[in-house]
Amino acid sequence: MRRGQRFMAVSVFSLAAMACSMGTGQQESAPKYGTDIVVGLPLSLTGNLSNESAMAKQGYDLWVDWVNNQRGGIEVAGVRHRVRLDFADDKSQPDLSGQLAEKMITEDHAQFLLGPYGASNTAAVAAVADRHHVPLVSANGSARSIFSKGYRYVFGVQSPAAQNLQVVLDMAANLNPKPTTMAVLTSNDAFSLEVSQGATDYAAMKGMQVVFNQQYPSGSTNFFSLLQQVKAKSPDIVINSGHLLEAVAVDKAAKDLRLSPKIFVFTVGPTMPQFVQTLGKDADYVFTGSQWTAQAQYTPQYYLTETQYVAAYRKKFATKDEPNYQVADATAAGLVLERAIERAGSLDPGRVRDALAGLDMTTFFGRVKFDSQGQNQYKPMLVEQIQAGHRQTVWPQQFAAVPAQYPTPTWAVRTGTPDPQPGAPPKLPVTGTAPRRR
């Protein structure tokens, strides 16, 4: 039986702290405290990854609040240690992220590392962590290229990048009428390339044909020419594997060009609050693969339930929004490091590394268990769709909160204005109303 309702009657964390102590040796007498555990964390506080990184920072801050304020630190051999996060701005630059990790280990004496945002930045930090034999738990870097180098000290809580949109194609194959053709636009960063490759490889298995497949420079915002080429192919599905700024730009350009596939799919973008804030009703109907949703209901062995986690997030950040997966990934990464230290019963990096390798736990985020390369192959991906301005879990069926809205209405229907005649130049964006839902 879930504890969310009676939990809310007390406080966001107090009941969870008692119920989830998991044999941490809490005693009636005042605990003995040792030195702080220093955890290094390069993060993109500025640059093109700053919006996504801001979400990750919220997740890390939520975890530290749990560890230090609710649990009194991490207990090791009868001594409690508070956690101190050593943040530094990597400016969305992979090389700088690696340099900061080096400094954190050699000068700031970081004992462990948590991951920055993005595959390229995580790859740079991973190389440093493994060279120094310092455990790194990656929250938002899931590209296989990070984990295929034989590293022993690098672990990632996310499902592998290649699986990111395969779950969307699973959903699409069960829709009526089934979509059979798709066009793919891909940012040329490591994560986006692995996501699109995973989707295009998987498409044939689902009886779908890729009729257009094109890369573009990461951070691009002008998609007019590419989408003209896509429109000429009349695909049933349009996929953009990229990030927030690119997803917003693609959606705007698709509206300008009246590109109206049955399904729009974006990675990363739709999970960010700015996607709906910027696009308004034009964000509706878009699908995305998600590492976690607030509506998925797991049975955690450690920390909070999904309901309690959402409540904790809203209280800490004074918001009505639900946390997105970038937030949840970061909290999960912290929990995994915390649990590994407890199981190791030591702050020795090698012993904590071994504890990470043997970990098998279920949290609000889902199951975390690492394969021989340090990736979490055991947590399913989910599909979210923007419906009336809100993210809704629509697939897999056992996790779905509502059915998918399909097919996507044409822009003519959505805006209440007819498409231009063939050959006529596209008009400027028109603000209209979404169709009335029955």
Torsional sign, CA 35, 39, 45, 47: positive
Query: Could you read off the pLDDT of 271-318 as tens digits, one per residue?
Result: 999 999 999 999 999 999 999 999 988 889 888 899 999 999 999 999
100 and 63 in one domain?
Answer: yes
Where do the DSSP E strands lie in 118-234? 136-138, 154-156, 181-187, 209-216
Query: Could you read off the pLDDT of 2-26 as tens digits, one per residue?
Result: 334 333 333 334 434 434 444 444 4
Domains held by the chain: number: 2
32 and 103 in one domain?
Answer: yes
Least confident of 11-25, 97-111, 118-132, 312-326: 11-25
State the chain's mean pLDDT as an integer: 90
The amino acid occupying position 71 is: R
Residue 97 lies in a domain: yes
| C-alpha–C-alpha distance, residues 192 and 96, integer Å | 21
Residue 119 lies in a domain: yes
Nearest to 135 by CA among 162, 158, 155, 106: 155
CATH at 66: 3.40.50.2300
Domain that holds residue 237: 163-290+383-415
Where do the DSSP E strands lie in 169-308? 181-187, 209-216, 237-241, 263-266, 287-290
| C-alpha–C-alpha distance, residues 375 and 366, integer Å | 14
393 and 360 in one domain?
Answer: no
Residue 279 lies in a domain: yes
Phi, psi angles (nearest 5°) of residue 254: -60, -40
| C-alpha–C-alpha distance, residues 151 and 167, integer Å | 28
| C-alpha–C-alpha distance, residues 260 and 319, integer Å | 34
366 and 316 in one domain?
Answer: yes
| C-alpha–C-alpha distance, residues 254 and 264, integer Å | 10
302 and 275 in one domain?
Answer: no
On the question of pLDDT at 433 being above 70, the answer is no
Which comes out higher in pLDDT, residue 429 or 278?
A: 278
The model carries a pTM of 0.85
Torsional sign, CA 199, 205, 206, 212: positive
264 and 154 in one domain?
Answer: no
Overall average pLDDT of the 402-410 stretch: 97
Task: Out of 322, 353, 376, pick the residue that ends a domain.
Answer: 376
On the question of pLDDT at 126 being above 60, the answer is yes
On the question of pLDDT at 28 being above 70, the answer is no
